[in-house]
Structure 1
Amino acid sequence: MSLIKVSLKKLTGIIGVVLTLSISGTLSANNGVYVTGGSGMDDTLIQSGDISGASVRGFGFRQDIHSQLRLGLFDGGLFGEGLFREGHWFIDYEWHQLSSRFEGRSQQMTIWAVKPTLQFFFQPEKKSGLFYEAALGAAYLDEKTFEEVKRAEHVNFVMQFALGWQSQNSPWHVALRYNHYSNGYLAQPNPGIDFASLVLNYTFN
């Protein structure tokens, strides 16, 4: 448990640095906005419990922070020619609402999240075509209980994986995301929340 807490403290520190650089830096032309729609999931992956009857909707703002984060780390610096040099950093600020009817009652849960996100194209020289993303951030969920899932805390970590498509010379891209929310076992119960969403993003370029 102590190792988990130390790791989470380091993660929180990294997120803090990313947010500070984001706020202090100049906004990039590659910022974007997006809308999402999707469905809750069952316990096939990480979540314990079933919220597959829930619908999901949301929107977000994507801020390009790659130029602020470079600082010599990606151009032959700390990471050299490694994996992170090929990626592109963003921060996603987003809102989601989950809605369902469970045991004869309507239920809703609202989620606010901030997520540093790293995007990779399978053909990085083109910056178009198939891409994948990974994100790790922080979220606030306004309900501790949703359908049969009961959690201990409102504040959670959020983990995201996505696979998407960017058309060449187009401001639009689409992606399919897997979203997982958890408190990192800092408190019990911690069943997690999972949902899948389809994302339509418009980039101001």
Structure 2
Amino acid sequence: MNMKKMIAAVAALLAANAAFAAEGQLIDGVYGEAATASKIRMARVGVTKDWNPNWSWFDSGNTHLTGYWDASAGYWQGRQYNNVPGDKQHIVDIGFTPVFRFENKSKLGFYAEIGIGAHLMSETYNNNDDRLSTAFQFGDHIGIGYVFNKNWEVAVKMQHFSNGSIKKPNSGVDYGVVKLAYRF
């Protein structure tokens, strides 16, 4: 799957959201992310759907714990494939993650979140002396962000990919991520 196909998939999801708007939104937001790690870069787009708005834990005055579903498509570019400087590896990653978010009840201001989900990669990762021996990976993240108004938010996250020792080698990949999101 190339970048044009990923953009087309996101456009189709946005169109589906508009079609279902009369019965409630299919998605609540869209986002783009840029990430970097040692000798690898990633770009990702995704859609989110809030959990039931009447559901929350740890309500304490102005804050609570709630969450959302996250579906994403990412493009990885390794810059040292098979540990050869300059050789590139191109991977497409499709993911689905439930995310817990501790936020203000107004949904404005700072928040913290944590999630762990499933990812399927187009091929196994082998870059910069790191290898992931399966196409199935767990992707967990922890992040902080800021919601400016009801529509825009930014975040920074640390994300780790690993197959949970399903198969060796499993050195894992850690990314620093910047996110820009728009909520409907």
TM-score of Structure 1 vs Structure 2, range by shorter chain: 0.7 to 0.9
* Structure 1 residue 81 displacement after superposition: 5.7
How far apart, in 2, do the equivalents of 1:100 and 1:163 lie? 26
Aligned to 1:141: 121
TM-score (norm 2): 0.75
Aligned to 1:15: none
Match of 2:35 among 10, 34, 38: 38
Match of 1:183 among 159, 163, 168: 163
Aligned to 1:165: 146
How far apart, in 1, do the equivalents of 2:114 and 2:167 lie? 25
- CA 80–63 in structure 1, closer or farther in 2 if over 3 Å, else same: closer
Q: Residue 79 of structure 2 aligns to a residue in which SS?
A: strand
- CA 27–188 in structure 1, closer or farther in 2 if over 3 Å, else same: farther
* Structure 1 residue 101 displacement after superposition: 2.6
Contact 2:58 2:65 in 1 (8 A): no
**Structure 1 portions without partners, runs of 5+:** 1-25, 41-51
How far apart, in 2, do the equivalents of 1:184 and 1:100 lie? 21
Partner amino acid, structure 2, of 1:99: Q
* Structure 1 residue 186 displacement after superposition: 2.0
Partner amino acid, structure 1, of 2:178: L
Task: Kindly tell me the number of residue pairs found equivalent between the two proteins.
Answer: 155
How far apart, in 2, do the equivalents of 1:58 and 1:185 lie? 25
TM-score (norm 1): 0.68
Aligned to 1:119: 101
How far apart, in 2, do the equivalents of 1:203 and 1:81 lie? 23
How far apart, in 1, do the equivalents of 2:107 and 2:53 lie? 16
* Structure 1 residue 181 displacement after superposition: 1.2
Aligned to 1:47: none
- Larger RCO (CA within 8 A; separation ≥ 6): 1
Aligned to 1:150: 131
Partner amino acid, structure 1, of 2:79: R
- CA 80–99 in structure 1, closer or farther in 2 if over 3 Å, else same: closer
